[in-house]
Amino acid sequence: MRNSLLPPFLFMFALQHSYSAIENTSEKQIVAVRTNNQIVIDGLLTEQVWQRPGYAELKQEEPAQGLNPSQKSEFWVAYDDEAIYFAAKYYDTHPDSNLARQLLLLSRT
């Protein structure tokens, strides 16, 4: 009897989750752009497809979830016959204060 209650419970949970996801959708969209140009995965965003304005409506998770980020970020999606490509650019107004960069420099000395 215990196992017979599990499928209806899971169905109700999934239905509730789906309804709340539909209710919270917005009109903001990330657009994937088809490209015929070769994309070189080198960390540089020099290809033409990355030169258009990126999606910048990201929200922060830390320290306060859901707020606008303190630093600008852009995100792109492109695709061709072979793959889906994701690119992001994260701006930093104070790059010298980046702890990870400082730790990397210390570990090299």
Task: State pLDDT tens for residues 71-92.
Answer: 889 999 999 999 999 999 988 8
Q: CB of 76 within 8 A of CB of 46? A: no
Per-residue pLDDT at 103 exceeds 70: no
Per-residue pLDDT at 21 exceeds 60: no
Does any domain span residue 17? Answer: no
Does any domain span residue 3? Answer: no
Does any domain span residue 22? Answer: no
pLDDT at position 104, please?
Answer: 56
Does any domain span residue 73? Answer: yes
Most confident among 1-5, 27-31, 65-69, 94-98 (mean pLDDT): 65-69
Does any domain span residue 39? Answer: yes
Can you tell me the distance from the alpha carbon of 69 to that of 58, in angstroms, rounded to the nearest whole number?
A: 7
- Cis amide linkage into residue 69, ω under 30° from 0: no
Does any domain span residue 46? Answer: yes
Report the side by side order of strands in the sheet with 84-90: 32-34, 73-79, 84-90
For residue 33, name the pLDDT band (cuts at 50, 70, 90). Answer: very high
Q: Which domain holds residue 80?
A: 31-108
Does any domain span residue 23? Answer: no
Q: Count up the domains in the chain and report the number.
A: 1
Per-residue pLDDT at 30 exceeds 90: no
Does any domain span residue 21? Answer: no
